[in-house]
Chain A
Amino acid sequence: MSAELNLPARGPRVSMGRFVKAHMRDYGMLLSLVAIVLFFQYMTDGTLLQPLNLTNLVLQNSYIVIMALGMLLVIVAGHIDLSVGSVVALIGALAATLMVRLHLDIVTTTLLCLLAGAAIGAVQGFWVAYLRIPSFIVTLAGMLVFRGLCLILLAGQSVGPFPVEFQRLSSGFIPDFLALDAFNLGKFHLTSLLLCAAVAAALVVMNTMARLRRQSVAIEQEPLPLFVAKNVALAAVLIYVGQLLASYRGLPNVLIIMSVLIALYSFVTRNTTVGRRVYALGGNEKAAKLSGIDTRRLSFYTFVNMGVLAALAGLIFAARLNTATPKAGVSFELDVIAACFIGGASASGGVGRVTGAVIGAFIMGVMNNGMSILGIGIDWQQVIKGMVLLAAVTIDVYNKNKA
């Protein structure tokens, strides 16, 4: 008994095989995304990763990814939100009413729309957290109510176009501060490439620092070769994507918003007390409550957060279409929820990662895009996507039970 008490000074050595096996679920998802990308890259003769298409891919998926961040928290807390598609439509309609009909400026409109999203989330959250009505029912009702309100607001018509500055939210690109023709690069967007390279460098430095910190307290580490390989791959992919995007028009504004949000939410879920409490709430609500966590308030705020992110997605989507239409956002909720589950979230709560949900969203996005390029009809696209969702979750559940 006493022999095992002395703490090793350095992290325990772990064999590569054992480590990979133990973390197969984490790597599996990323490898699936890579495999799907390579598959469609091959099948479309390289169209998939052409700069123009890659830019489109980012633009098309941004709103799904943004909503998946909020949905992940909702699902981890043990709930679900079916209303986000309708909220996207309603906020688009609200933005159109404010800007096109009432000629309000962009900043005011954006703030009002985000506030409206928070209010929508607050109402649903109140019903779920304090009146204890199952979220499935509350948000199913919300889905109908908000879609109806959107129709009322638009009087059944499409409203547009939006002011040009608003469209930039979705179709704009970051300015090129280094547009030097001295290098003879034509219209190559040097700022974008440098930005990607800087982010890659920052990530590698942060990972290395975290690794050194952990070593000092004996947390199990991934083996060094794996760590190096992972970071090299990460940096290479970032710089490669940056180079591709730079050779079209540079980084889309949306990509910046999305990246900042992804970074923020993965930090919140992994490193903050609030994030930890959401996982405890979803894992065992009663135990969390008896540990002094205000579980009701926490549930409430996950819905408020979801409302704000759905509103942001609504603005981006409206800006992208350049009109507000009553049909906007139909079935978005399903894509968003599917992204979370493909990304390893558990339907019973308590389990799920932000990175997983983002990867899940991109798996769906790449498949949509790739199949469209291949000319596969919407009918078969749905069949294939449905089966991928089922397969992904089945493999995940099977792996978990085996472990």
Chain B
Amino acid sequence: MDSILEMKGITKTFPGVKALDDVNLSVREGEIHALIGENGAGKSTLMKVLSGVYPQGSFDGEIRFRGQPQAFRGIADSERLGIIIIHQELALVPLLSITENLFLGNEQASRGVIDWDAATLRARELLRMVGLHDPPETLITDIGVGKQQLVEIAKALSKEVKLLILDEPTASLNESDSDALLELLLQFKARGIASILISHKLNEIAKVADRVTILRDGTTVETLDCREAVVSQDRIIRGMVGRALSDRYPRRTTVPGDVLFEVKGWSADHPAHPGRRVVRDVNLTVRRGEVVGIAGLMGAGRTEFAMSLFGRSYGRNIRGQAFLDGREIDVSTISRAMANGLAYATEDRKHLGLVLDNDIRHNVTLANLKGVAKRWVIDHEREVQVAEEFRRRLRIRCPDVFQETVNLSGGNQQKVVLSKWLFADPQVLILDEPTRGIDVGAKYEIYTIINQLVAEGRGVVLISSEMPELLGVADRIFVMNAGAMVAEMPAAEASQEKIMRAIMRSGETLMSGEALP
């Protein structure tokens, strides 16, 4: 069989990070090719190289499409050849109709005047092909995510797609929608359209994929052919996570003490869709001096859980109890949660963590202005001393504390966010992806800070998508999937395979439609 796509020796570097290192990918005519790997393995970057988001010249390597070498300058170039990518975050305009979205930028028009009759007829035809029976004039905002996914695919069809790329298309779909979507991929295959399917759900891959390429840490591990021999899930998982842990984590001697913090029966619904449960009956304990890790894939509900716990800053219909030292505490608003010893350092430091226009000093004291004020009046000198102290303790690299945080590197910004919460002096600190996007050295320093915190008898909850980090830093690991805690294990007994297996198993239980309250 001929290859429709050959990507050879793709290397892409960002300042300080090698995102892709000599990656090879070959997709045959009319096959469904699964691309898998951990978060951050380089899947999305590879697809951005393919679709022209990163133009020719910003990476090394060669792309051949149907045998011809290609030099894409932008998405328009790749789309012209029929390479269409559907991102995880759908690119639809919510307040326009299905028809308008289908032909956005590609209107059925002559001399700028849209022919609505032609557009509607063509839209109906496309929707029939993807099995969507809603009227084309329905607004996108009025249909569910599953149908929106179908609209995206119909849009791809309207552009004469040859190679369809789906980035975790079923991540936010329920079972029947997922099945319908996979069925659609098989239909396209029958019509000779090749697809690249990025997914974490191994059972789906087993169902539809012809071949699987595994990425890890920005390199190609291997390509397995599912049609020649049966490829087991364990085989794939080993390929995904199989790497040796080096000494990247500072040693900790603290021994966890009594139970400090406990959450019982915590549930929350999606803020925009009441009734759509995103956190399901979560129980969690944190002991004094303990780092508790929460593992899970993106969208597992970890951030949603943490934010709903921290003063109901996410979700609605929130239920459950929180205890500190055995006493039930009120966490119904952020200021009450903080007063009761809770703190949450966000994963999204630019949008939720920092006031970027303000300097380091003002950001550090923001959550505890009372700590540098007498009554209402801020003691500026004391404020500078406090900020200076954190700058030294956390080794924030900057000339002085009067630098605007917008100018700092990611790692230093993260340290400012941590400083803010350390100055608020919490008993339990929830860290959401504290090392995302920062370099190895800064990571080590942040792990050291975590060690200091637990040595002082506090509790730390560490949410991370990097499993080696969880294994290296946490004392105990909870595994979360689809809003529920699906496993709990001491870090000493945990392994990446074990965690991944817990996620996959629970995914299957959910897929087979059991026990959804």
User: B residues within 8 A CB of A287?
Assistant: 351-355, 366
Bound Cα distance A260, B401 (Å):
32
User: Once the chains bind, are A272 and B378 in contact (CB under 8 Å)?
Assistant: yes
Q: Is B461 part of the binding interface, using a Cβ–Cβ cutoff of 8 Å?
A: no
Binary flags per residue of B100-114, CB closer than 8 Å to A gives 1, else 0: 000000000000000
Chain B residue with Cβ nearest A350: B357
Q: Is B188 part of the binding interface, using a Cβ–Cβ cutoff of 8 Å?
A: no
Chain B residue with Cβ nearest A268: B376
Given contacts A274-B376, A276-B378, A283-B357, contact A218 B384 (CB under 8 A): yes
Kindly specify which of A141-149, A243-251, A289-297, A379-387 makes contact with the partner chain.
A289-297
Q: Is B80 part of the binding interface, using a Cβ–Cβ cutoff of 8 Å?
A: no
Binary flags per residue of B337-367, CB closer than 8 Å to A gives 1, else 0: 0100000101000011111111000100011
Min CB distance A211 to B, Å, is 12
Min CB distance B2 to A, Å, is 51
Binary flags per residue of A261-285, CB closer than 8 Å to B gives 1, else 0: 0000000000111101101100110
Bound Cα distance A292, B335 (Å):
5
**Which residues, 59 to 78 on A, are CB-close (under 8 Å) to B?**
none
Bound Cα distance A292, B367 (Å):
6
Q: Is A351 part of the binding interface, using a Cβ–Cβ cutoff of 8 Å?
A: yes
User: B residues within 8 A CB of A214?
Assistant: 380-381
Min CB distance B199 to A, Å, is 31
> Which bucket holds chain B's interface residue count?
35 or more
Given contacts A280-B358, A290-B346, A290-B352, contact A217 B378 (CB under 8 A): no
User: Once the chains bind, are B351 and A5 in contact (CB under 8 Å)?
Assistant: no
Chain B residue with Cβ nearest A286: B352
Min CB distance A159 to B, Å, is 41
User: Once the chains bind, are B357 and A351 in contact (CB under 8 Å)?
Assistant: yes
User: Once the chains bind, are B313 and A284 in contact (CB under 8 Å)?
Assistant: no
User: B residues within 8 A CB of A107?
Assistant: none
User: Once the chains bind, are B334 and A273 in contact (CB under 8 Å)?
Assistant: no
User: Once the chains bind, are B384 and A290 in contact (CB under 8 Å)?
Assistant: no
**Which residues, 384 to 424 on B, are CB-close (under 8 Å) to A?**
384-385, 388, 392, 395, 400, 402, 420, 424
User: Once the chains bind, are A292 and B376 in contact (CB under 8 Å)?
Assistant: no
User: B residues within 8 A CB of A277?
Assistant: 369
User: Once the chains bind, are B338 and A273 in contact (CB under 8 Å)?
Assistant: no
User: Once the chains bind, are B378 and A290 in contact (CB under 8 Å)?
Assistant: no
Given contacts A272-B377, A280-B358, A283-B358, contact A292 B334 (CB under 8 A): yes
User: Once the chains bind, are A292 and B313 in contact (CB under 8 Å)?
Assistant: no
Q: Is B373 part of the binding interface, using a Cβ–Cβ cutoff of 8 Å?
A: yes
Min CB distance A272 to B, Å, is 5
Partner of B378, one of A1, A273, A294, A350: A273
Chain B residue with Cβ nearest A291: B367
Q: Is B370 part of the binding interface, using a Cβ–Cβ cutoff of 8 Å?
A: yes
Which of A1, A5, A280 is packed against the most chain B CB atoms within 10 Å? Answer: A280
Bound Cα distance A378, B413 (Å):
51
User: Once the chains bind, are A288 and B355 in contact (CB under 8 Å)?
Assistant: yes
Chain B residue with Cβ nearest A7: B388
Chain A residue with Cβ nearest B376: A272
Bound Cα distance A5, B333 (Å):
38
Partner of B373, one of A273, A284, A289, A351: A273
User: A residues within 8 A CB of B388?
Assistant: 7, 217-218
Q: Is A220 part of the binding interface, using a Cβ–Cβ cutoff of 8 Å?
A: yes
Chain A residue with Cβ nearest B358: A283
Partner of A220, one of B352, B370, B378, B402: B402
User: Once the chains bind, are B376 and A280 in contact (CB under 8 Å)?
Assistant: no
**Which residues, 474 to 495 on B, are CB-close (under 8 Å) to A?**
none
Q: Is A103 part of the binding interface, using a Cβ–Cβ cutoff of 8 Å?
A: no
Q: Is A399 part of the binding interface, using a Cβ–Cβ cutoff of 8 Å?
A: no
Bound Cα distance A273, B377 (Å):
6
User: A residues within 8 A CB of B355?
Assistant: 279-280, 283-284, 287-288, 350
Bound Cα distance A279, B362 (Å):
10
Min CB distance A8 to B, Å, is 11
User: B residues within 8 A CB of A218?
Assistant: 384, 388
User: A residues within 8 A CB of B310?
Assistant: 290
Given contacts A1-B395, A288-B355, contact A217 B381 (CB under 8 A): yes
Bound Cα distance A219, B376 (Å):
22
User: B residues within 8 A CB of A7?
Assistant: 388
Min CB distance A346 to B, Å, is 8
Q: Is A394 part of the binding interface, using a Cβ–Cβ cutoff of 8 Å?
A: no
Min CB distance A271 to B, Å, is 5
- The contact sample of 8 A-B pairs, CB cut-off 8 A, is A213-B381, A217-B385, A287-B351, A287-B353, A288-B366, A291-B420, A292-B367, A350-B355
Closest 9 CB pairs of A and B: A283-B355, A291-B367, A273-B369, A284-B355, A292-B335, A217-B381, A272-B376, A291-B366, A292-B338
- Beyond contacts A283-B357, A288-B366: 13 other A-B pairs, Cβ-Cβ < 8 A, are A1-B395, A217-B381, A220-B402, A273-B370, A273-B378, A276-B366, A283-B355, A287-B354, A287-B355, A290-B334, A290-B344, A290-B346, A350-B357
